[in-house]
Structure 1
Amino acid sequence: MPDRGAPAWDPAAYLSFADERARPFADLLGRVGAEHPAVVVDLGCGDGSVTAKLLRRWPRARVTGVDSSASMLAAAAEHAVPGRLEFTRADVRDWLPDGPIDVLVSNATLHWVPEHPELLAGWAAAVPPGGWLALQVPGNFRAPSHALLAQLCRSTRWVAQLADAAPDPDAALPPAGYLDVLTGAGLAADAWETTYLHVLTGEDAVLRWVGGTALRPVLAGLDEEAAASFTAEYAAALREAYPPRDDGTTVLPFRRVFAVGHRAS
């Protein structure tokens, strides 16, 4: 996960919904047809829990997870297998391969990088014959969870401090946009979207979900008292937008965008 100028990531907060966050990764890998790749790279590997699944999928591969967050990489270290599954610190914007890569994966990372379509085009152009490139990004930036956050950042009370921290509604491309990037680099490509209905439990469940991702850079710009005040306003808006059901659970519809490209041998 890129963190250039961003707050430190909290693996515990992110992993509080580990099962829900892992489902899109499994769906993404289901469209990757590589049988016996030798080199697999996960760009924006986070805590490494899903990166470890790449080694289970391809047990003879050498798998590398790349991330810029020291806290996430510290958590990822428990998954390392010397010579088989390793992790390295680098910003995806600066990362360069040191040789051919059979499978390049980026899961829930590229939306943090405004210039990522150009970055992705470069990665796609470097896919070798027989290679695969697979990506997944959230596509929920116009949903209430993110639109309310952006609206609050730009409200009269908070605009002076938080206007630049508001989530960008165009942080991710639509599926057709990623299809164009991959096919433009000569790859045979597939792109699609899925909306997951996450059934969450506990009080302020949607706030806790967003608290591990989009809310972090917003609160990083506030002192403790202001952060508590902002969070209270945001929580109230989320409770209205996502009311609990009769059984106490809360349903969070969450859209994801996927794309997979392959270069023929």
Structure 2
Amino acid sequence: MTDHRWHTPEAYDKATTRLQQRNASMVARLHPRPDTVRRAYELGCGTGALTEELLGVLPQARITALDVSAEMLRRARDRGLPQDRVEFRLGSFLDEGGADGHDRDAGSPAGAVEGRYDAVFSNAALHWLYPEYSRCFTRIRRLLAPGGVLCAAMAGRTAAADAFDRRIEEATRAVLPPGDRADFNRRRTTDAQVAELAGASGFSVEDVFLVERHHTMSAPAYATWWVASGGPWSTDRPEEHEAVATLTEALGGVGAEVELVHASTFMVLRA
């Protein structure tokens, strides 16, 4: 199971909506023939932003939406999405058998039936499965029917994103343990790395591309966003308000600004 550290689903939505909603809209529209999708699986649905987008884009699909957090799923269910088209499930994608206790093949993640799905979708979730990318992509491949498509976005690696990570690491060096400062950078992927993972997992690449966005935000807003979306400190974590205050001060104080670089690797892979 993933440790969600501090964040509540409400804090996550408030802090990340602008970027994640844009990505969710793009991921939902990656499939080349959405009208052919009857069974879709969403990996890491969170609070349901992509799930809601998929309902509008996939007119014929029934969606199985998985997340590791019961609190995130509670907020996703609160969207009031039609139960005849969406089934939310609790579980960890890489845990044998998952956690929901029904409709499960032995060794399949969270009740997913191997070879059943026409498409798998994921937004801002795959990078949290680092370093198990190879096992993750292989499992996704097994879920898809022949010709099925994976449409996803995960943390991307660009020169600007790497430079941003180095600036943040340097700024927070004095307040974070060494092992935590560069944690997220290790999760980033290039288009070439995704293509290599795809080939090793039995996918053919239809499209892989990077999207880089730049956004100026206050140091407190960035610190809040960082903490709400997982944040640093793998051990000995302070309270949430202390974490935000510590990071804000390290980034220059309440009046400082941060030039955020947000990079995503988008992919369309066919089984």
Which bin holds the TM-score, normalised by the shorter protein?
0.7 to 0.9
How far off its partner does 1:6 sit? 3.8
Aligned counterparts, 1:190-209, within 5 A? 190-198=207-215, 200=217, 204-209=220-225
Contact kept, 8 Å, 2:40 with 2:118, in 1: the verdict is yes
- The secondary structure found in structure 2 opposite 1:204 is helix
Paired amino acid for 1:260: V
Give the C-alpha shift of residue 183 in structure 1: 2.9
Task: Please give the per-residue CA displacement for 1:124-145, whole angstroms capped at 9, x wherever unaligned.
Answer: 254322211122112266343x
Identify which range, 127-136 or 215-224, moves more after superposition.
215-224
- Corresponding residue number in structure 1 for 2:17: 18
For residue 103 of structure 1, report the CA deviation from its aligned partner: 0.8
Letter of the 1:27 counterpart: M
Q: Secondary structure at the match of 1:222?
A: coil
Query: How far apart are residue 81 of structure 1 and its match?
Result: 1.7
What displacement does 1:116 show?
A: 2.1
Q: 259, 267, 270: which is aligned to 1:259? A: 267
Aligned to 2:120: 104
- Between 1:75-84 and 1:215-224, the stretch displaced more is 215-224
The residue number in structure 2 matching 1:56 is: 56
Q: Which amino acid aligns with 1:142?
A: D
Please identify, of 225-234 and 190-199, the stretch whose mean Cα deviation from structure 2 is larger: 225-234
Match of 1:69 in 2: 69
Deviation, structure 1 residue 25: 2.3
Q: SS in structure 2 opposite 1:50?
A: helix
CA contact (8 A) 1:7 1:216 kept: no
**Displacement, 1:149?**
4.8
Answer with 214-223 or 227-236: which moved more. 214-223
Taking only aligned residues, the RMSD between alpha carbons, in angstroms, comes to 3.0
**Corresponding residue for residue 44 of structure 2:** 44
* TM-score between the two structures when normalised by the length of structure 2: 0.77
- SS of the equivalent of 1:54 reads helix
Q: Distance in 2 between matches of 1:48 and 1:92?
A: 17
Supply the distance in 2 between the matched residues of 1:206 and 1:193 (Cα, whole angstroms).
Answer: 22
| Alignment pair present for 1:221 and 2:219 | no
- Ranges in structure 2 where 5+ consecutive residues have no aligned partner: 99-108
Identity percentage of aligned residues: 22
Once the two structures are superposed, the pairs formed by residues 166-181 of structure 1 within 5 Å of their partners are 166-181=182-197
Tell me whether 1:231 sits opposite 2:247 in the alignment.
yes
